[in-house]
Amino acid sequence: MSPEVNTLWIKSLARQYGFDYCGIAKAQELTQDAKRLDAWLQKGFQGDMTYMENHFEMRVDPRKLVPGAKSVITFLKNYFPSNIEIQKKENPQDAVPNIAKYAWGEDYHEVIRNQMHSFLEEMRQKIGKIEGRGFVDSAPVLERSWAQLSGAGWIGKNGNLIRPQAGSFFFIANLIVDIELVYDSPLPQDYCGTCTKCIDACPTQAILPDKTIQGNHCISYYTIELKKMEGLPENASLQNWAFGCDICQDVCPWNRFSKAHQETHFKPLEGLLQLSKNDWMQMEETTFKERFKKSPILRTKLKGMKRNIQWLMDRRL
């Protein structure tokens, strides 16, 4: 089949899988992104995330990840919760800590990775022999750059991909393959304009005016990536966040267009949004592992959650 026919079929299949967007870009070296990433690393904004320093060439050139790669297919999957779920989260008793929306349900890495494997197999059955790999925020891939190149949206001042009339509450997945397809075009401009709401709202001043994110000052970094709490500035304001942070997305005007997702795997885990700080502090390891075995929260471990919540309690947040 021709690249045109294959492209139409792939995008149709993406809709069947429940993806909210599917776009395609030509596999090539991301020269400008390489310069920006190198400058970001040189300034130490990765903090303890030393894995960001690894496999630099692979991060900026998908052909290093998949030999012979010709196309990068980008998928978006919405995870914005329903109004009922948000009310449960935003109007609980005062002692309930904040948890980023992406972590309310099952681990998106596993959910979307399984969908990627199945998707690639269907491509092989339909199109023929294809060499390819799927990636979901778990390998050296600049997924937001590929999403932008595929026409999915633009990179906002808060570093998130923002989709016109849809917002930024999307997971991004990439499928790198060795077949030629029809490539989409990036949006002609970004639409943040003069808005600085995300910059103004960030309590740790992690967002710089030039769209640079000081990763080592982000609340998500403090609560997930930072393993030693003594590395957290004493005057840092976590604003009751115990795992991740949504502040820069919650204040973004484009997210007024966000609609509730339809992915059952992303529904809030039972009881999660009602757990108080005391509930977390009294939780035992076996209970934690069983209750959150499919959750992104498992990453920080119970020890990490208790550390974060103790920090909040000590400051009466």
299 phi, psi to nearest 5 deg: -60, -40
What tokens does 308 get? 């974060």
**In Å, what is the CA distance from 140 to each residue of 61, 154, 256, 262, 274?**
10, 20, 32, 29, 36
Three-state SS at 176: strand
89 phi, psi to nearest 5 deg: -80, -40
DSSP letters along 202-270, please?
-TT--B-TTS-B-GGGSHHIIIII---GGGS-TT---TTEEE---HHHHT-GGGGG------GGGSPPT
Nearest by Cα to 69 from 178, 142, 155, 159: 178
Is 33 among the catalytic positions? Answer: no
Look-up of token digits 């966040």:
241
- In angstroms, the CA 57 to CA 76 distance is 25
Nearest by Cα to 102 from 225, 266, 300: 266
Three-state SS at 119: helix
- In angstroms, the CA 232 to CA 123 distance is 47
Go through the chain and tell me how many residues it has.
Answer: 317
What tokens does 304 get? 């990490």
Look-up of token digits 């809709």:
15
Three-state SS at 50: helix
Sequence-distant (≥ 6) Cβ neighbours of residue 253 within 8 angstroms: 195, 197
Q: Which candidate in 20, 107, 137, 250 is catalytic?
A: 137
Annotated catalytic residues are 137
